[in-house]
């Protein structure tokens, strides 16, 4: 039996990787993928705890997250596509319309 902590450590590594990637990458698609990685890190943590506590609640939430992530991917990609059509760029530094 693999100890619980292994799964959690993997989850943390994935989450931190996602965060770092979000901050250092410039184009929106990569940033978007970083966010997906963070979500899946959270999924892993949920499954882990669900298994150890022998409860179904965590698994149900994971399904929710997967569904929401799918929807989010649709909307997010659509937005990025439209931004590209208008600005001919998807670099996040170039998009400063909301500057005060």
Partner 1 sequence: MTEIFWLIPFVPALSAFILAVFGKILPKKYVSFQACFAVFISFTISVVSLLGLLRISHENYPIVKTLFSWIHSGSFESNLSLQLDPLSAVMALVVSGVGFLIHVYSVGYMAEDKGYTRYFTYLNLFTFAMLLLVMGSNIVLMFIGWEGVGLCSYLLIGFWYEKHSAANAGKKAFIVNRIGDAGFLLGIFFIFVLIGSGEFTAINKAISGGVITQGAATLIAILLFVGAIGKSAQIPLYVWLPDAMEGPTPVSALIHAATMVTAGVYMVSRMNMLYTFSGVAAQIVAIVGALTAVYAATMALTQNDIKRVLAYSTISQIGFMFIGCGVGAYAAGMFHLYTHAFFKSLLFLAAGSVMHALSGELDMRKMGGLKKYLPLTYPTFLIGAIAIAGVPFFSGFFSKDAILTQAYANGQYFIWALGIMGAVLTAFYMFRLIFLTFHGQERIEPEAKKHLHESPPMMTIPLVILAFFSVVAGYIGLPVVLGKNLNWFGRFLEPVIRVSHEAHLEIGTEWLLILISVAVALVGIYIAYVFYIRNPQIPHALVARFPFIYKLLYNKYYVDEIYNAAFVNSTVKGSEIIYDHFDLKVVDGAVNGTGSATNFSGKILSYLQTGLLKDYALVFLLGAILFLGYLLFF
Kindly list the residues in this chain that would bind partner 1 in the complex (CB under 8 A): 19, 22-23, 31, 92-93, 95-100
Q: How far is the CB of 44 from partner 1 (least distance, A)?
A: 18
Nearer to partner 1, 3 or 100 (CB): 100
Nearer to partner 1, 38 or 62 (CB): 38
> Coil, strand or helix: which one is 27?
strand
Alpha carbon distance 58, 44 (integer Å): 10
Nearer to partner 1, 33 or 59 (CB): 33
Cα four-point dihedral sign 45, 51, 57, 63: positive
Specify the DSSP class assigned to residue 16: H
């Amino acid at each position: 039996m693999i100890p619980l902590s292994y799964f959690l450590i993997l989850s943390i590594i994935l989450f931190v990787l996602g965060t770092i990637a979000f901050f250092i990458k410039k184009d929106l698609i990569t940033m978007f993928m970083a966010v997906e990685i963070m979500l899946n890190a959270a999924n892993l943590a949920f499954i882990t705890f669900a298994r150890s506590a022998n409860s179904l609640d965590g698994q149900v939430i994971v399904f929710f997250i997967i569904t929401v992530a799918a929807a989010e991917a649709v909307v997010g990609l659509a937005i990025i596509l439209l931004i590209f059509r208008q600005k001919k760029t998807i670099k996040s530094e170039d998009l400063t319309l909301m500057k005060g």
